[in-house]
Structure 1
Amino acid sequence: MHLTNSSPSITPRDRHLLRHAALAVGCAVLFAVLAALVQTGWRPLSRFDHRPIDDLHRFAAGHTAWTASVQLFSDIGGTVTMRSVLGAAALWLWLIGARTLGGWVAAQTLAGWAAQWLLKLSFGRQRPTFSDPVSHAGGPALPSGHAMASAITCAVLVGLLWPRVGRAGRIAACSVAALITVGIGASRVFLGVHWPSDVVGGWLAAGIVLGSVTVLVELSRPGALARDFRRMNWRTRPRVQRVLVSPARPPRDTPVDHPDGLLR
């Protein structure tokens, strides 16, 4: 008597769902722990927040040119810019027929905006205060909207590029995305408008949104994201490739060498 394993194998879609579900749950647990430590005033976290913020403020106040450049970088990478980029990407995907993928991008944008303000209003954390601030920002501190929006935008753009580039392109895309995300988060701490834990909270909140939205879209439209990725590749592949592989045709008036060596 032979025993066979009747349990179904895990499909690529199942692995995709599990990865994003794990991302959402893991980031949610870490964010809950961080928020609890912030609310209870845990001393190690308080020292982690206050020590760098005071030193950075003294440096920023004494180096106005550098501070102005950091402020410009922070403004360029702000929430409006990041969400505008995602909005443009969603519109483009919709126009080329990748409707589910475009909806996924739009949902990441809207869910990120809604989650940001829901969390901010839930915790109501005060921002750092100085007698001579070098920058100003309104609203509660936790999580950092700049950190959250930049993480979501960079992750979505890398996801759109992922199937269209090779290993070198993926490494380059991930490196640029990481530098932008870390740079924008660090700029908010340098300018004294966020605590370091606010930035970490923004990145964790971004992970919650990215994973949750992807799982919901996959469950509501099974396989649609994969089909739209293939459609996007077909729609956007360079036309020049077909020109390069097509056989060359000589002009009508150009003499052609025939196998018998005569010119006709």
Structure 2
Amino acid sequence: MVVLVAGVLFAVVAVLVETCLPLLMALDWSVMSGMYTFGVANPELTAITQVWTDVLGPWPWRLAVGAVAAYLVWRGAVRQAAWALTAITAGGVLGWLVKIVTARPRPELPDPLSPALPDAAFPSGHAVAATIGAAIFVMLLRPRLSGPARALAWGIAAILAVSVAYTRVALAVHWLSDAVGGVLLGVLVLGVTTAAFARKPAPAPVS
């Protein structure tokens, strides 16, 4: 159900971005400009935000998932390793393809707070990677966690994903809808890949 909702919402946001809905454009500009003004006035917080977005950027997540996948293969959990690598890779590839299709410009400011890649804005690759990466670790640890611990783990994963998405807008390198779209795409990819790698039930014995 969560995956379906994420898919529908992502499609809606993508369509609104592609059609440049005035209401969405106004909201994006208002949020981004407000955060930019705050960032300029608070350079210390901006520096911390930059560190956070770098440490939890796409490549750190990819490398972390790759390392865990290698460990899983060593332990004989090849299926889990393949799922983790597929999920984090699919997120990056699909995010890149959507960027090509939408070709949405990033915010252009006279004095940028942070460097950004010269690619399209929608969706945020940082948000996609953080959402998928954090969830992968929770799902791999899930069998070892009790009920309360699982809830706490999912809460931490959600905070990581949302905080990374926030940094992209706070640093004025993405619009709010880019960050939201990135999180939604991450949830969608995670759900689809998890379903694809789910173990099929054993066939019923022949009577």
Instruction: State TM-score, norm by structure 1.
Output: 0.73
Please give the secondary structure, in 2, of the residue aligned with 1:168. helix
Contact 1:83 1:153 in 2 (8 A): yes
For residues 101 and 40 of structure 2, the distance between their equivalents in structure 1, rounded to whole angstroms, comes to 32
Which residue pairs with 1:230 in the alignment? none
Match of 1:128 among 107, 125, 128: 107
Which residue pairs with 1:113 in the alignment? 92
1:23 Cα offset (Å)? 4.1
Please give the residue correspondences for 1:11-50 in structure 2 after superposition, counting only pairs within 5 Å. 22-50=1-29
Contact 1:87 1:109 in 2 (8 A): no
Contact 2:6 2:187 in 1 (8 A): yes
Contact 2:58 2:129 in 1 (8 A): yes
Which residue pairs with 2:136 in the alignment? 156
Q: Which amino acid aligns with 1:105?
A: A
Please give the secondary structure, in 1, of the residue aligned with 2:97. helix
For residues 184 and 6 of structure 2, the distance between their equivalents in structure 1, rounded to whole angstroms, comes to 5
Which residue pairs with 2:122 in the alignment? 142
Query: Relative to 1, partners in 2 of residues 1:210 and 1:99: Cα closer, same or farther, differing over 3 Å?
Result: same
The one-character-per-residue Cα deviations of 1:107-154 (angstroms, maximum 9, x if unpaired) are 112111211111111111100111111112111100000000000011
Please give the residue correspondences for 1:223-238 in structure 2 after superposition, counting only pairs within 5 Å. none
Contact 2:131 2:161 in 1 (8 A): yes
Match of 2:174 among 167, 177, 194: 194
Please give the secondary structure, in 1, of the residue aligned with 2:200. coil
Match of 1:69 among 48, 51, 72: 48
Please give the residue correspondences for 1:145-224 in structure 2 after superposition, counting only pairs within 5 Å. 145-218=125-198, 222=200
For residues 66 and 187 of structure 1, the distance between their equivalents in structure 2, rounded to whole angstroms, comes to 11
The one-character-per-residue Cα deviations of 1:51-101 (angstroms, maximum 9, x if unpaired) are 111111111112211111110111001000011111111111111011111
1:27 Cα offset (Å)? 2.4
Quote the RMSD (CA, aligned, Å). Answer: 1.5
For residues 127 and 159 of structure 2, the distance between their equivalents in structure 1, rounded to whole angstroms, comes to 12
Which residue pairs with 2:205 in the alignment? none
For residues 116 and 40 of structure 1, the distance between their equivalents in structure 2, rounded to whole angstroms, comes to 18
Identity over the aligned pairs, expressed in percent?
Answer: 37
The one-character-per-residue Cα deviations of 1:175-201 (angstroms, maximum 9, x if unpaired) are 211111111110110000000000110
Which residue pairs with 1:80 in the alignment? 59
The one-character-per-residue Cα deviations of 1:26-66 (angstroms, maximum 9, x if unpaired) are 32222121111112222221222111111111111122111
Match of 1:58 among 12, 18, 37: 37
For residues 147 and 49 of structure 2, the distance between their equivalents in structure 1, rounded to whole angstroms, comes to 32
Aligned positions, number? 201
Please give the secondary structure, in 2, of the residue aligned with 1:171. helix
For residues 120 and 165 of structure 2, the distance between their equivalents in structure 1, rounded to whole angstroms, comes to 16
Q: Which amino acid aligns with 2:78?
A: R
Structure 2 gaps, min length 5: 203-207
Instruction: State TM-score, norm by structure 2.
Output: 0.92
